Amino acid sequence: MHTDSQRLRFTVTGISDLDEIRPGDDLGVLLAAALGRLNVRVGAHDILVVAQKIVSKAEDRFVDLATVEVSERALELAAVTRKDPRLVELVLSESSEVLRAKANVLIVRHRLGFVMANAGVDRSNVGGRDRALLLPRDPDASAAMLRTSLEARLGITIGIVVADSFGRAWRNGVTNVALGAAGLPALIDRRGELDRDGRTLEVTEIAFADLVASAAGLVIGEAAESCPAAIVQGLSWHAPTVPASALIRPLSEDLFR
């Protein structure tokens, strides 16, 4: 990523002035109005980071656990993981492969390629004990639709990142990553560039959308912050637009299988 100055400064401003998102809500309308109330001047290369949860809520990705039919496989994994069998069934329905199952742990490969706990099935802040929320069906498409909606209302092109919190292998804690992106280079290929010593970079690719999502996570939070979006301003880049799906390593390059 090339920058226009040696000292790049950017700001992250949380957007908390939103009512509870409900199925069918137009996030573009709601977020444009919230930005207006913040009195933030939105410009080109600004990036709006939106928590996956409100995208899923608007897209009605809710599931009533009482309607879930539990399979034998789900019952087996529930006994191992000590999790609600209905939750395990939802995880299986959203997954292409179970990678690790032990007490209180269920790591899977999501149908979209994400390697994550519980396939992103969430039961926190979803409006009831017997409800669960799934990831968007196509986070890149969700980001693109939101970008189009916002551009129509703001009159300017911006980037969109749909973010969620992930754990990392061999490291404690979670950090935000990009599930979906539109209008920015989610992955920046710097192979072939020279370092300060004139050495050619051979493997360097920058997970730009993940870095933006992580920065926004400092204000979006994880629990009761009620700040489901943030506007990131002051960044610049000179790289082609790439969706977040480019961040997923192909199975043929999985070094840990």
pLDDT 10s digits, 8-52 = 689 999 998 899 999 999 999 999 999 999 888 898 889 999 999
Structural tokens at position 147: 């970008």
Please tell me the distance from the alpha carbon of residue 246 to that of residue 242, in angstroms, as a whole number: 7
Q: Residue 185 CA to chain centroid, in angstroms?
A: 15
Provide the token pair at 228: 């489901």
Instruction: Give dist(CA 56, CA 142) in Å, integer.
Output: 9
Domain boundaries, the chain: 11-58+136-248, 63-132
User: Which helix H or strand E contains 130, and what residues bound it?
Assistant: none
Radius of gyration of the chain (CA): 19
CATH superfamily entry for domain 11-58+136-248:
CofE-like (3.30.1330.100)
Angle between helices 27-38 and 139-154 (to 10 degrees): 50
- For the entire predicted model, the pTM comes to 0.92
Give the whole-angstrom CA distance, residue 236 versus residue 43: 11
DSSP SS3 for 137 = coil
The tens digit of pLDDT for each residue in 52-64 reads 999 999 999 999 9
Q: Tell me the pLDDT tens digit for each residue of 188-232.
A: 988 878 888 888 888 888 999 999 999 999 999 776 668 999 999
**H-type helices in 68-222, by residue range?**
72-81, 85-93, 139-154, 208-220
CATH number, span 63-132: 3.90.1660.10
